[in-house]
């Protein structure tokens, strides 16, 4: 899986959770990215931000040591940067791609397709946790 593929899958997960069509965070990478996405989407997409926040909070309630500061999420290579994440997710949410992605995929993204480990390996930086 290339870095671009891994990024696309993670964006699909963020968009699906934000739209309410997918469940919670499956690992520390998703939980931390969902939390950062919730923070940066809050002004323009408050309902979607709340869904992402709930998904990340549920994970961190079970795994409190997995919570990272926002800057560490970038340093781990899980996102390229805050403005890019905001722009890409905002575009997807504004265009209603979450509903279309969910219908085309026939439901949730398969759980074995992506992990923090595959994202770290694809980008060549960061650490894995999960």
Residue 120, pLDDT > 90, answer no
Task: Give pLDDT tens digits for 46-58.
Answer: 999 999 999 999 9
- Residue from 125, 120, 115 nearest 28 by CA: 115
What pLDDT is attached to residue 6? 84
**Higher model confidence: residue 120 or residue 37?**
37
> Distance (Å, rounded) from C-alpha 60 to C-alpha 75?
20
Average pLDDT over residues 30-43: 97
| pLDDT on residue 66 | 97
User: Residues with Cβ < 8 Å from 82, sequence gap 6 or more?
Assistant: 36, 40, 70, 74
Q: How many helices (H) and strands (E) in the chain?
A: 7, 0
Share of the chain above pLDDT 70, in %: 74
End-to-end CA separation in angstroms for the chain: 19
């Amino acid at each position: 899986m290339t870095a671009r593929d891994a990024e696309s899958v993670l964006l699909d997960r963020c968009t699906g959770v934000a739209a309410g069509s997918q469940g919670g965070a499956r690992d520390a990478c998703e939980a931390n990215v969902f939390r950062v996405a919730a923070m940066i989407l809050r002004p323009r997409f408050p309902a979607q931000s709340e869904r992402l926040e709930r998904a990340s909070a549920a994970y961190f309630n079970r795994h409190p040591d997995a919570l990272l500061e926002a800057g560490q999420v970038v340093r781990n290579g899980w996102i390229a940067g805050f403005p890019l994440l905001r722009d890409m997710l905002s575009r997807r949410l504004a265009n209603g791609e979450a509903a279309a992605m969910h219908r085309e995929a026939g439901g949730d993204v398969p759980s074995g397709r992506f992990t923090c480990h595959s994202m770290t390996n694809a980008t060549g930086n960061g650490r894995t946790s999960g």
